Amino acid sequence: MLNEKHFTGHWWIISILLLLLLIDGSLASVLAQWIMQPSFMGIPQLTLLGLVMVTLLVPEEKYTTWIAALIGLVFDSFYTGILGVNALLFALVIYIVRQIRPYIPHTAVFVGMVYIIALLLYSIANYFVNHFIGYGNSGVVTLIANHLGPGLTVNLILFVIVYGPLHRVLINLAEE
């Protein structure tokens, strides 16, 4: 039997994700006058980026879906006020990413594509959940034109900035 070493960096993963959650809120607050207008809603999603990258780059982390639900609950309590929406959606998106993880190369292009898909799934599911509970009443055209397009633009710029350092940290964490 090989001498298998179990992954023990769970607290590092949670700490990184909580830091990204705080940076999300800070960026949204600082850049709100430019990226959050009625006709242009580019909301930063660094927390989702961190969850996707942890799922793809730290395969030994078997509690990713549970961590996503916990981070989503913290996200809900800090930013939305409706507990459970992001807890459910983060866990659902990360569960889907875990299912396709074996087929995805760990290059920046493929991680970026998975992030775009995860961001689209999250945004569309968030729209439908908020519409279902009566929290939002905008149409699908408004969702696409005012939220999805600007949101993807802002988050792709953030992906280009954050990918290198976060990739290096997660790869080092996975190797320890």
Amino acid at 122: Y
Instruction: Give pLDDT, residue 30.
Output: 93
Contact 121, 91 (CB under 8 A): no
Instruction: Give pLDDT, residue 157.
Output: 96
Instruction: Give pLDDT, residue 143.
Output: 85
Instruction: Give pLDDT, residue 1.
Output: 45
Instruction: Give pLDDT, residue 57.
Output: 93
Would you call 162 exposed, middle or buried from its count of C-beta atoms within 10 A (0-12, 13-18, 19+)? Answer: middle
Residues of the chain predicted below pLDDT 70: 1-5
Q: Provide the token pair at 40.
A: 């242009």
Q: State pTM to two decimals.
A: 0.91
